[in-house]
């Protein structure tokens, strides 16, 4: 091979080899990351998961509504028991709109229970008291005697709690959230019903964010 | 197809033929062949060279860009093929950039609103940011582009470095507390600590003092046992200062910040190294004076964002940018070498010409190496390893906190900042008024030097 051919061979080979080695992601495992996947809580994942989303809200409240309607205190009650909703306690690492859980649970029960259970609106208590006082003072009209106490008392309190556990490793991040709800007898303080739902999620971010 | 009609063109054609002959001869050292360059063979050789070049360039695409399209769902009939979308206009590109920087703008707007006392606007902006930074970004086209050789890191959607994301959660937690949602505030402080955690850098893993302390205080206020979190906070603070025991009867929570936060710079030969400049601010400490100075509330620095930014450990993206920089340097060197070889070959050609020897091969080598050199130089110039220095530039350096017990009412006072010797920086003193609300909700006071 002549000298110029050697020159060419060396230059061309070096250029080709160099360009074919433009691997900026070389040595980076799964550079595109792994999309978040939902798993069964009892399933072992390669990492542990992420936040509370609308599908979790739907599945959890659906499950709780079905579960509550099956208990004897509700299903066999002579008169529909009155239930007060107490705010959910968030013990996870995810800031959430806590009311949305109870709102959906209440609407599910109201729509599916067909009068088996009634809810007491304590959110409007201040407005209701003000209206009652106006009636008592004769400032507004009343269709019934406003001096008779008619605000219903609670037979049960329904509340919930969200607990979470986070794992972060070089393989990604996972979050496990335990949704627990309970119905407490207002007279005896006994918990007459309790149920849980568990969701675990995991994912790995794109290498550009790691 | 190039039309070669003139005598000069004939010479050029001869040189191209010679170049191809050298290519074939060069390859024949790996696979011996006996080829004479007839027209058909020339076409074959041209195709081979083009194929090799295309393969070489294709090698630069290390990760296929994922499709933005939604996953296909089973359909009864195949939809009609969609026409190729037109090239993005300047307005589209501007929109795309605005979208990529949305979180950055939300961060900045949030701090402006916070410092102006517009807490509703601050909440809205922080929520907008947290929606983005709270998720996991995977299979993202912008992120893939940022990893590619010829795009800057800043082409990815901005979410900020961990210390910036932590601050979004810190501020949001403070605002949740202000709204009486202590459990959501605690959730934000926990998320901040998770963001700061780095499995590969255990020494400074999740080491914000205030995040742990506030988690413990929130848990205690909610009736739980927050002592573990408070102990963790004290352990992280070590001997620098002593944290006050959580006061459950405290109804006024003071969140203070002072000093100027870290700045990002792109260092390294090609700007591929993300570095943080954390200058020490004049304000090293602060104190709150109430009741005409009779009550002094110290506000020492519990967390230093400059320290947090510089101790988090390396990023995977740094590795990618490092590879880009190596390519840029290497391509430039290949270009230099090829050009040098081209000059030598040209010199050899002239020498052979003077000696009335055949110089076609040397000419061809000069041209070929020149082309390789040009490709190397272009590739080097196009490679973009510059680190992303977009930053939330309104962050403070020091974070402090105090919890007080005050009866409902208005309190006049002032906020003083102290230098390293403990002297008051008089020109930075701020008068303030604290309105303590009645009822069960804590009063949250946000004080900022910035």
pLDDT in tens, B92-106: 778 778 888 999 999
Burial readout B67-96 (b: 16 or more C-beta within 10 A, e: otherwise): eeeeeeeeeeeeeeeeeeeeeeeeeeeeee
> What confidence tier does B235 reach under pLDDT thresholds 50, 70, 90?
confident
* Backbone torsions φ then ψ of A159, nearest 5 degrees: -145, 175
Q: How many CB pairs under 8 A join A and B?
A: 219
Average pLDDT of span B190-202: 85
Q: Please, are residues B401 and B409 in contact by the beta-carbon 8 Å criterion?
A: no
Whether residues A5 and B22 touch (CB distance < 8 A) is answered with yes
Is the per-residue pLDDT at B392 higher than 90? Answer: yes
Most confident option among A52-66, B165-179, B194-208: B165-179
- B184, closest residue in chain A (CA to CA): A95
| B342 CB burial (10 A radius; 0-12, 13-18, 19+) | buried
Q: A7 to chain B nearest CA, in Å? A: 7
- A171, closest residue in chain B (CA to CA): B199
Q: Please, are residues A47 and A166 in contact by the beta-carbon 8 Å criterion?
A: no
What residue ranges in chain A does DSSP mark as E strands?
Answer: 34-39, 82-85, 89-91, 118-120, 156-169, 172-185, 191-204
Between A170 and B195, where is the model more confident?
A: B195
Q: Please, are residues A9 and A3 in contact by the beta-carbon 8 Å criterion?
A: no
| A18 CB burial (10 A radius; 0-12, 13-18, 19+) | buried
- A168, closest residue in chain B (CA to CA): B199
**Residue A147 to residues A8, A82, A120, A135, Cα–Cα distance (Å):** 105, 22, 20, 9
Q: Specify the pLDDT at position B407.
A: 92
> What confidence tier does A109 reach under pLDDT thresholds 50, 70, 90?
confident
Within 10 angstroms of residue B15's Cβ, the number of other Cβ atoms is 16
Between B320 and B200, where is the model more confident?
A: B320
Whether residues B341 and A11 touch (CB distance < 8 A) is answered with yes
Is the per-residue pLDDT at B38 higher than 60? Answer: no
Facing residue for A210 by CB, picked from B55, B197, B315: B315
Facing residue for B361 by CB, picked from A2, A166, A205: A2
> What confidence tier does B20 reach under pLDDT thresholds 50, 70, 90?
very low
Is the per-residue pLDDT at B360 higher than 50? Answer: yes
CB-based contacts of B322, cutoff 8 Å, min separation 6 = B272, B385
Q: Please, are residues A14 and B375 in contact by the beta-carbon 8 Å criterion?
A: no
Whether residues A23 and B137 touch (CB distance < 8 A) is answered with no
Average pLDDT of span B352-364: 88
* Backbone torsions φ then ψ of B286, nearest 5 degrees: -150, 165
Whether residues B60 and A19 touch (CB distance < 8 A) is answered with yes
Q: Mean pLDDT of all residues in chain B?
A: 81
Average pLDDT of span A136-147: 87
Give the Cα separation of A29 and B266 in Å (integer): 25
Task: Sort out which chain B residues have CB atoms less than 8 A from A168's CB and list them.
Answer: 194, 197, 199
Task: Sort out which chain B residues have CB atoms less than 8 A from A100's CB and list them.
Answer: none
Task: Sort out which chain A residues have CB atoms less than 8 A from B57's CB and list them.
Answer: 19
Q: Please, are residues B204 and B313 in contact by the beta-carbon 8 Å criterion?
A: yes
Facing residue for A16 by CB, picked from B56, B62, B319: B56
Give the Cα separation of B41 and B45 in Å (integer): 6
Chain centroid, CA B181 distance in Å: 32
Is the per-residue pLDDT at B82 higher than 50? Answer: yes
Smallest CA-to-CA distance from A93 within B212, B187, B175, B211 is with B187
> What confidence tier does B121 reach under pLDDT thresholds 50, 70, 90?
very high
Most confident option among A92-106, B57-71, B325-339: B325-339
Whether residues B369 and A7 touch (CB distance < 8 A) is answered with yes
Specify the DSSP element, H or E, that contains B168.
helix B162-178
Give the Cα separation of B128 and B225 in Å (integer): 32
Whether residues A168 and B199 touch (CB distance < 8 A) is answered with yes
Average pLDDT of span A96-103: 86
**Residue B425 to residues A88, B180, B282, Cα–Cα distance (Å):** 46, 34, 8
Q: Please provide the distance, in angstroms rounded to a whole number, between the alpha carbons at the two ends of chain B.
A: 66
Task: Sort out which chain B residues have CB atoms less than 8 A from A31's CB and list them.
Answer: 62-63, 144, 147, 320
> What confidence tier does B200 reach under pLDDT thresholds 50, 70, 90?
confident
Between A47 and B407, where is the model more confident?
A: B407
Is the per-residue pLDDT at A83 higher than 50? Answer: yes
Facing residue for B365 by CB, picked from A4, A19, A205: A4
Average pLDDT of span B271-279: 90
**Residue B260 to residues B204, B208, B396, Cα–Cα distance (Å):** 21, 18, 5
- B200, closest residue in chain A (CA to CA): A170
Q: Specify the pLDDT at position B34.
A: 40
Q: Specify the pLDDT at position B84.
A: 62
Between B443 and A42, where is the model more confident?
A: B443
A143: DSSP letter: S
Average pLDDT of span B31-49: 42
Between B74 and B192, where is the model more confident?
A: B192
What three-state secondary structure class fits B126?
Answer: helix
Q: Please provide the distance, in angstroms rounded to a whole number, between the alpha carbons at the two ends of chain A.
A: 50
CA neighbours closer than 13 Å in the CB half-sphere of residue B354: 5
How many residues in chain A? 210
Contacts by residues B94-103 (CB-CB < 8 Å, ≥ 24 positions apart): B99/B157, B100/B142, B100/B155, B100/B156, B100/B157, B100/B158, B101/B158, B101/B390, B102/B128, B102/B132, B102/B157, B102/B158, B103/B128, B103/B129, B103/B132, B103/B133, B103/B157, B103/B158, B103/B159, B103/B160
What three-state secondary structure class fits A117?
Answer: coil
What three-state secondary structure class fits B29?
Answer: coil
Average pLDDT of span B28-41: 41
> What confidence tier does A189 reach under pLDDT thresholds 50, 70, 90?
very high
Q: Specify the pLDDT at position A44.
A: 46
Within 10 angstroms of residue B213's Cβ, the number of other Cβ atoms is 27
Whether residues B194 and A168 touch (CB distance < 8 A) is answered with yes
pLDDT in tens, A175-185: 999 999 999 99
> What confidence tier does B44 reach under pLDDT thresholds 50, 70, 90?
very low
Q: Specify the pLDDT at position B1.
A: 34
Is the per-residue pLDDT at B342 higher than 50? Answer: yes
Q: Which residues are bridge partners to B81 per DSSP? A: none
Average pLDDT of span A196-202: 92
CB-based contacts of B87, cutoff 8 Å, min separation 6 = none
Is the per-residue pLDDT at B187 higher than 90? Answer: yes
Percent of chain B with pLDDT over 70: 79
DSSP codes, B367-402: HHHHHHHHHHHHHHHH---PPP----TT--SEEEEE
* Backbone torsions φ then ψ of B50, nearest 5 degrees: -60, -40
């Amino acid at each position: 091979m002549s000298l110029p051919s050697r020159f060419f061979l060396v230059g061309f080979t070096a250029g080709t080899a160099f360009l074919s080695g433009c691997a900026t992601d070389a040595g980076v495992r799964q550079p595109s990351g792994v999309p978040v996947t939902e798993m069964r809580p009892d399933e072992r994942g390669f990492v542990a998961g992420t936040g509370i989303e609308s599908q979790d809200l739907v599945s959890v409240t659906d499950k709780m509504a079905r579960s509550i309607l099956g208990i004897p205190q509700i299903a066999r009650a002579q008169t529909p028991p009155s239930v007060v909703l107490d705010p959910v306690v968030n013990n996870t690492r995810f800031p959430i709109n806590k009311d949305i859980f109870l709102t959906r649970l209440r609407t599910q029960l109201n729509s599916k229970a067909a009068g088996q259970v009634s809810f007491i609106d304590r959110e409007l208590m201040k407005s209701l008291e003000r209206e009652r006082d106006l009636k008592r003072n004769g400032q507004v009209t009343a269709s019934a005697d406003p001096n008779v106490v008619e605000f219903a008392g609670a037979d049960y309190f329904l509340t919930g709690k969200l607990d979470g556990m986070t794992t972060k490793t070089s393989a990604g991040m996972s979050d496990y959230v335990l949704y627990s709800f309970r119905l407490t007898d207002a007279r005896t303080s006994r918990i007459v019903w309790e149920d849980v739902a568990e969701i675990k999620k995991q994912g790995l971010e794109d290498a550009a964010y790691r | 197809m190039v039309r070669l009609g003139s005598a000069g063109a004939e010479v050029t054609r001869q040189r191209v033929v010679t170049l191809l002959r050298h290519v074939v001869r060069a390859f024949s050292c790996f696979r011996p062949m006996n080829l004479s360059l007839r027209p058909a063979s020339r076409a074959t050789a041209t195709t081979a060279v083009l194929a090799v070049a295309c393969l070489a360039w294709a090698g630069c695409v290390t990760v296929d860009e994922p499709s933005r399209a939604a996953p296909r769902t089973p359909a009864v009939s195949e939809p009609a093929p969609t026409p190729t979308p037109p090239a993005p206009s300047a307005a589209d590109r501007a929109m795309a950039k605005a979208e990529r920087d949305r979180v950055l703008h939300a961060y900045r707007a949030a701090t402006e609103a916070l410092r102006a006392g517009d807490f509703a606007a601050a909440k809205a902006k922080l929520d907008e940011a947290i929606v983005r930074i709270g998720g996991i970004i995977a299979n993202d086209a912008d992120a893939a582009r940022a990893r590619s050789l010829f795009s800057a890191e800043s082409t990815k959607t901005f979410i900020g470095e961990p210390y910036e994301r932590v601050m979004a959660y810190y501020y949001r937690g403070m605002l949740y507390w202000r709204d009486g949602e202590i459990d959501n505030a605690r959730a934000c402080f926990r998320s901040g600590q998770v963001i700061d955690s780095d499995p590969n850098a255990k020494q400074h893993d999740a080491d914000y003092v205030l995040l742990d302390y506030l988690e413990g205080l929130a848990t205690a206020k909610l009736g739980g046992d927050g002592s573990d979190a408070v102990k963790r906070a004290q352990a992280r603070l070590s001997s620098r200062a002593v944290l006050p025991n959580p006061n459950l009867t405290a109804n006024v929570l003071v969140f203070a910040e002072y000093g100027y936060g870290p700045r990002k710079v792109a260092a390294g030969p090609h700007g591929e190294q993300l570095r943080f400049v954390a200058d020490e601010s004049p304000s090293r400490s602060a104190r709150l004076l109430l009741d005409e100075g009779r009550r002094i509330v110290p506000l020492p620095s519990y967390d230093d964002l400059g320290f947090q930014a510089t101790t988090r450990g390396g990023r995977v993206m740094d590795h990618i940018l490092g590879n880009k920089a190596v390519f840029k340097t290497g391509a430039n060197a290949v270009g230099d070498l090829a050009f040098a070889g081209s000059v030598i070959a040209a010199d050899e050609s002239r020498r052979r010409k003077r000696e009335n020897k055949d110089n076609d091969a040397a000419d061809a080598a000069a041209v070929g190496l020149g082309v390789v050199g040009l490709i190397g130089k272009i590739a080097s110039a196009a490679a973009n390893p510059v680190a992303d220095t977009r930053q939330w530039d309104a962050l403070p350096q020091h974070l402090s906190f105090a919890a007080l017990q005050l009866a409902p009412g208005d309190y006049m006072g002032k906020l003083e900042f102290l230098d390293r010797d403990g002297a008051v920086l008089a020109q930075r003193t701020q008068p303030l008024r604290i309105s303590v609300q009645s009822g069960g909700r804590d009063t949250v006071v946000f004080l900022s030097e910035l």
